[in-house]
Amino acid sequence: MTTRRRLDPAERRSQLLDVGAELFAAKPYDDVLMEHVAERAGVSRALLYRHFPGKRDLFAAVYRQAADRLLAASEIDPAAPVLDQLSAGLDAHIDYFVANRNTVLAANRVLSGDPVIQAVITDELAVLRQRLLDATGLEDGSRRMVSTALMSWLVFVRTMCVDWLTHQTFSRTELRDMCVGALTGALGAVVDLERFGAGAGFAEPSRTAPDSRTALDSGAGPDSVTAPDSRTTPE
């Protein structure tokens, strides 16, 4: 067993999350045991269970932390080309999926029926949809239609990424291009993608002038801790 260091509760929790993230990324979910986590972290199983009552609880905290970090890396600046930022956000998510294949597959397959894990995914998708919707600048009736299209697109991206991780029958570039193409194709009939790409937000396309939109390429998708432990005694 690794030599145990005395940490305050917040530091210990952070350490356990890091160790859990490493193990869930390295092995399929069913192969990760709590005793492995405790041994790698250099703590007793009793201490581990004080922070996380079970493996599912540890995994949920790991996945929530990853989702929060990805959201932090995917902020949208309406003054900059949104489609370029969308592409960068997709790259960030795909990078995480590649580096944490077992974690992503566990969340979307092994634990697909778990309400806590699925709430993490649902919450992340909701934040991403709101950010993209706000970036459109739409305030009229088109906003509801675009909101529905964005959520459908995010679910499509999630499905595509999970399938790609499972089978890898096409390239990463093709994955991103298909995701971007699906979004521009869905929204192109409703909004001005050329202005959106230029960072000016969406605008209703002209009904009289010729359609001058061009095909724009870009791209955008899993973990946060639960409530912080308020104890201060080192562990």
Per-residue pLDDT of the chain (235 residues), as tens digits, is 455 567 889 999 999 999 999 999 999 999 999 999 999 999 999 999 999 999 999 999 999 999 999 999 888 887 788 788 888 889 999 999 999 999 999 999 999 999 999 999 999 999 999 998 888 878 777 888 899 999 999 999 999 999 999 999 999 999 999 999 999 888 887 777 775 654 434 333 333 333 333 333 333 333 433 333 444 445 6
Tokens representing 226? 């639960």
Question: How many residues belong to the chain?
Answer: 235
Q: CA Rg, the chain, in Å?
A: 21
Q: How far is CA 50 from CA 12, 44, 76, in A?
A: 11, 10, 38
Whole-model pTM: value is: 0.76
Q: Which residue has the tokens 């917040």?
A: 10
pLDDT of residue 101: 96
Separation between Cα atoms, residue 124 and residue 154, nearest integer Å: 10
Tokens representing 82? 């949104």
Do 22 and 40 meet the contact criterion of CB atoms below 8 Å apart?
yes
